[in-house]
């Protein structure tokens, strides 16, 4: 088992456990991290509750189980309200614990319900998708969507612990693997030292642990996304625009990780156009993305001008085009990018040297 600490200060430090069979450590984790809890609300989805490994999910104290819908439709205030009502009916007290078992949707929704109920109860994430293990379940960002946009209502509420059982990944579909691998590719360019493709050669548990360690360091330095945490959005500016285009036209639809992979190569090409990196660094981005069996191509039929307009609405932007880009000091936020450069880089996508 690999353990990575998220260092938010002596009173709020928590561990992320990574390994095959880590779910079986849940009872010990709850006993150590939430010692006063006598009851657990286990929040999951019906499909996960039917898997062969779910029977091993035991918080070690009296528990009741609540399921939420699949997909983004579960990320709503009505689902959070239903969960909190269930917590109240079942007598969940302020000193008890919520256990989120699932991917990013479950950890986002259950984490926000835990943050809101009794103005904050402890929660533990048991991350069962690759995307959740390397990204969504770590860092304390919880939230739900509004009709006006994604993740507009939420809270920074850190878990008491995170359990990443790589054994649960065996049931993932190819599309879910792609979702997680796009985020894993991002982490090859974050953290200390010179970026390289060494993450591709690691066993799965070490790949997950490496991503978690990088994210833990960033979160410890900038818990509430004031500045440094923006680097975790590397590749996401175009990715979010591509996802929005896919919502409007299903023919353009990409999964999140697939969109991030395209966004990473786009960000590298844009950085080169701006004189921030050289050809070798661009090729490294392509090699890492391809090494995770992901495409770097824009969906056929993409509207470049519409994508640039959408990127201008990115949450990092302030009345300009703002990107997270590689450069001499590593990955950092770059403001005031000219629309003409953004458009020219989209035109360049797909044209190999």
pLDDT, tens only, 188-216: 999 888 999 999 999 999 999 999 999 99
> Domain segments of the chain: what residues?
2-172, 227-348
Q: What is the mean pLDDT of the chain?
A: 93
| pLDDT range class, residue 302, cuts 50, 70, 90 | very high
The predicted model gives 14-34 an average pLDDT of 97
Neighbour-count burial of 341, counting CB atoms closer than 10 A to its CB (0-12 exposed, 13-18 middle, 19+ buried): middle
Q: Give residues with Cβ within 8 angstroms of 300, minimum separation 6.
A: none
Report the distance separating Cα 320 and Cα 317, nearest Å. 6
Q: What is the pLDDT of residues 97-131, one digit of tens each?
A: 999 999 999 999 999 999 999 999 999 999 999 99
What pairs with residue 41 in β-bridges? 64, 98
> Rounded CA gap, 49 and 56, in Å?
11
Q: Does the predicted TM-score (pTM) go above 0.85?
A: yes
Tally of residues, the chain: 353
Give domain 2-172's CATH number out of 3.50.50.60, 3.40.50.720, 3.40.50.1970, 3.30.2010.10. Answer: 3.40.50.1970
Q: Which residues, 6+ apart, have CB-to-CB distance to 106 below 8 Å?
A: 43, 44, 45, 48, 68, 74, 100, 132
With a cut of 70, say whether residue 317 has pLDDT above it.
no
pLDDT band at 351 (very low <50, low <70, confident <90, very high): low
Q: How far is residue 328 from each of residues 187, 195, 261, 276, 285, measured CA to CA in Å?
A: 17, 12, 22, 6, 15
pLDDT in tens, 267-277: 999 999 999 99
Q: Which pLDDT score is estimated for 206?
A: 97
Other beta carbons within 10 angstroms of residue 334's beta carbon come to 19
Residue 309, pLDDT > 60, answer: yes
Q: What are the angstrom distances between the C-alpha of 208 and each of 77, 108, 278, 308?
A: 31, 19, 29, 32
Least confident of 184-188, 220-224, 326-330: 220-224
**pLDDT above 60: residue 352:** no
pLDDT of residue 313: 80
Domain 227-348: which CATH number of 1.10.1130.10, 1.20.1090.10, 1.10.1030.10, 1.10.10.10? 1.20.1090.10
Burial of 295 (0-12, 13-18, 19+ CB in 10 A): middle
- What is the pLDDT at residue 247? 77
Query: What's residue 158's pLDDT?
Result: 96
End-to-end Cα distance, the chain: 43
Cα dihedral 164, 170, 176, 178 sign: positive
Q: Which two tokens stand for residue 105?
A: 């949707």
**pLDDT more than 90, % of the chain:** 82
253-262 pLDDT tens trace: 899 999 999 9
Band of the pLDDT at 353, cuts 50, 70, 90? very low
For residue 298, the 8-state DSSP code is P
269 neighbors 282 (Cβ within 8 angstroms): yes
């Amino acid at each position: 088992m690999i353990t990575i600490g998220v260092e938010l200060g002596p009173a709020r430090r928590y561990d992320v456990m990574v390994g095959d069979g880590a779910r079986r450590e849940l009872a010990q984790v709850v006993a150590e991290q939430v010692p006063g809890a006598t009851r657990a609300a286990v929040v999951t989805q019906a499909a996960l509750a039917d898997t062969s490994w779910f029977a091993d999910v035991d918080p070690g104290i009296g528990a009741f189980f609540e399921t939420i819908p699949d997909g983004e439709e579960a990320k709503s205030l009505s689902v959070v309200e239903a969960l909190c009502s269930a917590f109240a009916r079942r007598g969940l007290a302020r000193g008890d614990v919520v256990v989120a078992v699932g991917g990013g949707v479950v950890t986002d929704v259950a984490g926000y319900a835990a943050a809101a109920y009794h103005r904050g109860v402890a929660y533990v994430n048991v991350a069962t998708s690759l995307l959740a293990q390397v990204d969504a379940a770590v860092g304390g960002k919880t939230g739900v969507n509004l009709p006006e946009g994604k993740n507009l209502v939420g809270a920074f509420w850190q878990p008491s612990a995170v359990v990443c059982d790589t054994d649960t990944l065996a049931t993932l579909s190819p599309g879910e693997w792609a979702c997680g691998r796009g985020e894993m590719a991002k982490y090859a360019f974050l953290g200390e030292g010179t970026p390289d493709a060494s993450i591709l050669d690691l066993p799965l548990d070490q790949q997950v642990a490496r991503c978690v360690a990088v994210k833990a360091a960033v979160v410890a330095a900038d818990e509430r996304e004031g500045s440094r945490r923006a680097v975790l959005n590397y590749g996401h500016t175009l990715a979010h625009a591509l996802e929005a285009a896919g919502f409007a036209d299903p023919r353009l639809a990409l999964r999140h990780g697939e969109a991030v992979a395209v966004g990473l190569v786009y960000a590298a090409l844009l950085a080169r156009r701006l004189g921030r990196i050289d050809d070798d660094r661009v090729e490294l981005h392509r090699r890492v993305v391809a090494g995770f069996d992901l495409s770097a191509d824009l969906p056929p039929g993409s509207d470049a001008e519409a994508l640039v307009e959408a990127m201008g609405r990115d949450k990092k932007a302030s009345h300009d085009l703002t990107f997270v880009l590689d450069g001499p000091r590593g990955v950092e936020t770059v403001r005031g990018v000219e629309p003409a450069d953004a458009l020219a880089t989209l035109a360049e996508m797909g044209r190999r040297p």
